[in-house]
Chains A and B, each alone.
Chain A
C-alpha cells in the first residue's frame, strides 16, 4: 500500500523539484530543514530510541535517533491553489534511512478564512505535529517522548478543511480531517482506517496559544506472531483473552489539549494527551510542561514529563493450571508487559542560536521507567527498569 503510494508520488515530487530549480521563484519555493544529533545513555541494558525506530542509543552514542533531513517544495499556482511536497529522511521503523514522502497535498484557499486540502498531510495529533521533525522550529531538542511516542503514525492520506476566524480574543482556527494512515513501526505495519478528527486552536495576540484535538480510527497492527497467539487462544476456553489481544480493526482514539506561551523572554508549553485503544496496545496518558527563558541567543529550558499506562486492555484470566496453560499465560503477559509504557522524565537543556539559521542544542534527561517505559531492546539485566541518564546534542538548521 505504502509502496504504491510512494511510486505515484515520486514523479510528482521530481516534477515539482525540477520546476523549483528551473522556474522563476514566483511559483515555486524550495526549503528544507535538518538535524545532526548524537545521543548516549548511562546503560547498556536497553536502548533509547524514538517510537517506531528499531535501534537507538545506549552507552555507545547513536547518531540515528535524531538525525534527519527534510526537503520541501511549495508551488503557488495562483491566489487560490497551491501544492506542497515534503520528503523526509530519518531512521524509520524499517531500520533504514529510506526517504519517504511525508506530505504531498494540494490546497485551495477558497476564501481568506477557508482552506481545503487533499493528499498526504501531517496528522494533527499533537500541538507541534506539523513541525515535530523541524528541530529549528522548536525550543527543546526534541518533542518529549513521554507524549509524542504514543502515536506511531505522523501523516495521513485524505482531506481536511480549516477555517480561520479573527475574534476579540485572537485568531481561532478550526480544522476537521478524515482519511487513512499507514506506517511501519518497529518493523510492524500499522494501518489506521476511517481516521477522522478535529483540531481547534486559539492564538491570542498576547502570545498564548491554546489547542484542543481529537482523532479516532480503526487500527490494525500487522503482527503475525500476535495473530497466531490470538488464533491459539480462540481455540481455548480463554477466547475472550484472545479477543482482547486482537490487533485487527481495533477502535482507537487520541485526544489532547495543549497550550504554549511565547512572549518576550519567556517560552512555555504544556500538553496533556490520552490514547485509548481496544487491543493489545495499552491505554496511555502523557503530559509535559516545558519552561524556557531567553538570554539573548541562549535559551535554557526545563521539561518535566510523564507517560502512564492506565489500562493494559487485557484481562489475563488464564490460570497457571498446567504447563501448557502456564506457557500460554506467560505469552500473554509478555505481550502486555511489552506494551506497558510508564516513565517519568526530567530534562534540562539549552538552545543556542549561534549563527544565522543554525541552532545548537544540548539536553540532559533523567528517565525513570517502571518496566520498560519507552526503552527498546531491553536485556535480562534491565530487570524491572532503572534510572537512566540520557545526554543529547543536536545541530538544527533550516534553509
Chain B
C-alpha cells in the first residue's frame, strides 16, 4: 500500500469533516448572555442544569435524532455519543426529574424557535446562522 498517497487523502477527508462539523450554539438576540462555555451548554443539554447564565429557566431545542449536526454537537460540546446522551436522559426521565430538550426537525425550525422565545437555546450549523439568533459558542 502506498502510504504517501494515503496520508494526504486522509488529511483531506478529515479537514472536510472539520469544515462540516462547525456548530453554533445560539440564543435569542435579546438574551443577556454574550457567550457561554461548553460546560454551561453541556449541563443544560445533559439535564444537569435547567437555567441559563441569566438565571432564567432555559427552553432548550434539540435537532432530530440521528442528524449530523446533533451528533457533532453532543460529541464536541459534551464529549458524548448519541447512545450515552440517550442513556443519561433516560436516567432523568425515568426518575421524573427532568424533561429532555424539545426535538425540532431542522436548523430553520430551531432558529424560528429561538427567535420567538427570549429564554431559548439551540444549536445549528454555523453556516445557517443569521440575524434572527445570537451565537454564544462555536465548536468545530
Contacts and interface: CB of A to CB of B under 8 A. Distances in A.
Contacts of A33: 90, 94
A368 interface: no
A128 B88 CA distance: 12
Given A112-B50, A205-B43, A357 B86 contact: yes
B99 to A, nearest CB: 7
Contact of A74 (B50, B55, B81, B99): B99
B50 A131 contact: no
Contacts of A72: 93-94, 96
Contacts of B79: 263-264
A288 interface: no
B94 A70 contact: yes
Given A112-B50, A112-B57, A122 B39 contact: no
Interface string B39-78: 1000100001111000101000000011000000000000
A114 to B, nearest CB: 13
Given A112-B51, A205-B39, A356-B66, A31 B83 contact: no
Given A74-B99, A203-B48, A359 B83 contact: yes
Interface in A112-150: 112, 117, 121-122, 128, 130-131, 134, 136-138
B82 interface: yes
Contacts of A121: 96
A137 B90 contact: yes
Interface string A77-91: 001000010100000
A297 interface: yes
SS of A interface (majority): strand
A70 B96 CA distance: 13
Contacts of B112: none
A222 B48 CA distance: 42
A276 interface: no
A353 B50 contact: no
A356 B49 contact: no
B87 interface: yes
Contacts of B30: none
Given A74-B99, A357-B86, A398-B86, A137 B91 contact: yes
Nearest to A72: B94
Contacts of B82: 356
B95 interface: yes
B74 to A, nearest CB: 13
A392 B50 CA distance: 38
Interface of A: 29, 31, 33, 70, 72, 74, 76, 79, 84, 86, 103, 105, 107, 112, 117, 121-122, 128, 130-131, 134, 136-138, 166, 171, 203, 205, 262-264, 294, 296-297, 353, 356-357, 359, 398
Q: 10 closest pairs, A vs B, by CB?
A: A130-B95, A353-B83, A84-B96, A137-B90, A137-B91, A398-B90, A134-B94, A131-B94, A131-B91, A137-B87
Given A86-B94, A136-B86, 5 more contacts: A112-B57, A131-B94, A294-B84, A359-B83, A398-B90
